[in-house]
Amino acid sequence: QVHLVESGGGSVQAGGSLRLSCEASGIIFSFNVMGWYRQAPGKQRELVASISSDGNTVYADSVKIRSTISRDNAKNTVYLQMNSLKPEDTGVYYCNFAHYGVNSWGKGTLVTVSS
C-alpha cells in the first residue's frame, strides 16, 4: 500500500506559477511511475504529466511547454512546476503512483486560476 500526500495547490491569477509536491510513503517498489492528473468541474480526470523512476517523462499537450515534472527518488517525492497558468488549468490535481498497473491516488489538491 502506498500513501500519497499532495501539497502546493491554491489560488493564483492567470499567468502565475505554482509548484505541486507529492510525497509517497509505504511500500515503494523500485520501478514505478509517479504523476499528476487533474479533474476540472464536470470533466473526466486527465493526465497532466508523469515521470518514471528512471526519468522518462510524459506531458499532456496542453501543459507541455508550460510545465516541468521532476522527482527526488531518495525522498519518494514528485514535483510539478506549472508556469503561465490559465483559467483552464483550474481543477483538483491528484498525485498518482503506479507500479505495473497497480495505482494509488492522493486525496487531491485544488488549483484555481482566475482571469
Sort strands 2-7 and 102-105 into parallel, antiparallel or unpaired.
unpaired
Q: What is the DSSP letter of 87?
A: G
Long-range (24+ apart) CB contacts under 8 A made by 39-44 are 39/91, 39/92, 39/94, 39/108, 40/88, 40/90, 40/91, 41/90, 41/91, 43/91
Instruction: Grade residue 28 by pLDDT with cuts at 50, 70 and 90.
Output: confident
In sequence order, the 6+-apart residues with CB closer than 8 A to the CB of 37 are: 45, 46, 47, 48, 93, 94, 96
Reference 68, options 48, 54, 87, 88; nearest CA is 48
Residue 60: predicted pLDDT? 98
29 pLDDT higher than 90: no
Q: How much is the mean pLDDT over the chain? A: 95
Q: 91 forms bridges with which residues in the sheet? A: 111
Average pLDDT over residues 99-112: 94
Question: Is residue 81 classed as helix, strand or coil in its secondary structure?
Answer: strand
Instruction: Grade residue 79 by pLDDT with cuts at 50, 70 and 90.
Output: very high
Average pLDDT over residues 93-101: 93
113 pLDDT higher than 90: yes
